[in-house]
Amino acid sequence: MAVRLIGSVEIAPGQSARWFIHGFTALEVAHFSITVFPQLVGGDAHATLTQGEKIEHVDLTQAYRIHIQNNSAREQCLVFVLAQVESLQL
């Protein structure tokens, strides 16, 4: 089991970001999490991650859709997206 840094995104107050993340093999399962930081020192950061669809491509690779909502009404936040990836061993 390994953790991968997928990337980061800045989200304005009350806004959201959607990601389409691909490149997983047919034998991998990914669970996503986020780490959130306020853009201002001493500010607040509050975001919600929703893991959506899982898509299997014809070449047997997989992709996921996620949605991140910045719940702060007044502060932009910096969000790092992580994936915990587990592989089925046959």
pLDDT along the chain (90 residues), means of 10: 88 96 92 92 88 90 96 93 90
- With vertex at residue 24, the alpha carbon angle to CA 22 and CA 53, rounded to the nearest 5 degrees, is 60
Question: 2-87 adopts what CATH topology?
Answer: Jelly Rolls (2.60.120)
What local confidence, expressed as pLDDT, does residue 1 receive? 60
- Positive or negative: CA dihedral 14, 8, 67, 32: negative
Domain boundaries, the chain: 2-87
Enter the pTM of the model.
Answer: 0.86
Question: Which residue is associated with the tokens 């899982």?
Answer: 54
